Each structure stands twice: as structure tokens, then as C-alpha cells.
Structure 1
Amino acid sequence: MNTAFVYVGAAVAEIAGCFAFWAWLRLGKTIWWLLPGVLSLVVFAYLLTLVETNAAGRAYAAYGGIYIVASLFWLWGIESVRPDRWDVAGASICLIGAAVILLGPRG
């Protein structure tokens, strides 16, 4: 499976799962929001196991950059808060870091 698709799916699942807890605790939603939230977090964890690498830590480290970018899209699309230039600059730096981790030569 394509690593980029796995990472994007994992990011959406993790953010949605965490947002369910946020909605329950901070937005006053019912406790029933936790059920799809927990299921979403299980999907997130499963998807990260599909990354083509022999080290879990490397998969998680590279995923961090994708998660940050996805979080900013969530901020903009779901929460209607437009990321500022500092958000975009920080996310760009993180994506470069993720690419170095994923694509760096291993020997």
C-alpha cells in the first residue's frame, strides 16, 4: 500500500478520534461521541502498521510531519480557522523532516 495514502488515512483517523474526545470534554457533546472516537483511534493505530519500514519508531517519526499538515487542514476545514504563515512555515519544515526520515539512504 502506498505510504502517503496510509499516512493521510492515519492522520484523518487520529485527528477525528482525538476531536471526538475534544468535542466531549470541551464542546459539551454527549459521551456517545467517544465510541466513534475510539474506533477511529484503533483504525489510526492499525494503519500505521502498514507503513513499509522495518522500524516502528521511524514510521512514527515520519508520520509526525504528515500529522501536522493534516491538523492544519482540519483547523481550516473543520474549525474554520485559517492557518497563518507561521503555521504553514512550521508545517513545511516538518514535511521536509518527514521526507528526510522516509527517503534517506539506509545502509
Structure 2
Amino acid sequence: MKVGLYYSLAAIAEIAGCFTFWMWLRQDRSVWWIVPGILCLVAFAFFLTRVEVDAAGRTYAIYGGVYIAASLLWLWLVERQPPDRWDLLGAVVCLIGSGIILLSHRPT
């Protein structure tokens, strides 16, 4: 269960951090928006390194599916744009792929 928590926290932190840059550069907000963004991106890196997976690349591959699903949740809750059926289908496919990578038995 810790794995899911760390991936979820990493996704929230990364999306929030990147969103601050989006607001600054695309929505003409103050440059000060990037200060909390940088802190969020540091938190993202910290949470992602807490996941107990045997290789960094595999950790990032698993995280990709979580990130996609979390991004659509952000789209819906923060940006007030509900995901459509294709968004949801894509997220499900990605999460299945992440699950396969995470739960596959590998010889040690």
C-alpha cells in the first residue's frame, strides 16, 4: 500500500509543480508562482525515490501510468474539465500496464 501512496503523492506534487510554471508562462501570472512549483518538484523527486522497486527506470515506467490517471483527475478537479471516455480508456490502459510492470514476478 505504501507504493500506491508514494506514487500518488509524487503525481500530485509533480502536476502541481508543473502547473505553477504553466500559470506563469501560459496564463501570465507572476514569476513568484514558480517558487511553490520548485518546492513541489523537489517533493515529487523525494516521493518517487521512496518507492521500493529494483531499478529507477522501472520505477519511472510504473509511475507513468499513475501520472496519466492523476493528470486527468487534475483536469477534472482543478481545471473543471471532465475527462471524456477516451481519456478514461487511455488511463485504464496505462494503469493496467503499470500494474503489469509492478506486479510481475522477476527472478532475483
- State the TM-score, normalizing by the size of structure 2: 0.97
Tell me the equivalent position of 2:58: 58
After TM superposition, list the pairs within 5 Å mapping 1:1-107 onto structure 2.
2-107=2-107
* CA positional deviation for 1:10: 0.1
SS at match of 2:105: coil
* Misfit runs of 4+, over 3 Å: none
In 2: Cα distance, 1:81 partner to 1:53 partner:
34
* CA positional deviation for 1:5: 0.2
* CA positional deviation for 1:28: 1.0
- State the TM-score, normalizing by the size of structure 1: 0.98
RMSD: 0.8
In 2: Cα distance, 1:53 partner to 1:86 partner:
30
* CA positional deviation for 1:53: 1.0
* CA positional deviation for 1:9: 0.1
Q: How many residues align?
A: 107
Unaligned residue ranges in structure 1 (runs of 5+): none
1:29-64 CA deviation, whole Å, 9 max, x = no partner? 100000000010000001111001120000000000
